Amino acid sequence: MTHGSGDGDGGEGRTQYGPWVWTAYRAHNELLREKLKKRFDAQEGPWLDKVADALVEIVNARWEGGRKKEKELERLYAKLGDLLEE
């Protein structure tokens, strides 16, 4: 296997190294994504946990259907609204 440099304007070299370059590009984006997730978790984690809890409660209440009163759903939507306004 040869690792030629191509013709200088992206001809053979681009074809030859394209998959590696694409892999490096994806790895860079994945790393950036992980770093962003850590920053968001550090800054917004507790609030996002509350929002997630409220959403889970709403979904569970809706799935339970007739067993939950309309007032209970209204209370849960109000709770979510309050969190989103923080």
Write the pLDDT tens digit of every residue in 13-57: 567 888 899 999 999 999 999 999 999 999 999 999 999 999 999
d(CA 37, CA 30): 10
Check residue 69 and give left, alpha or beta (phi > 0: left; psi -120 to 50: alpha): beta
Instruction: List pLDDT tens digits, range 70-82.
Output: 778 888 888 889 9
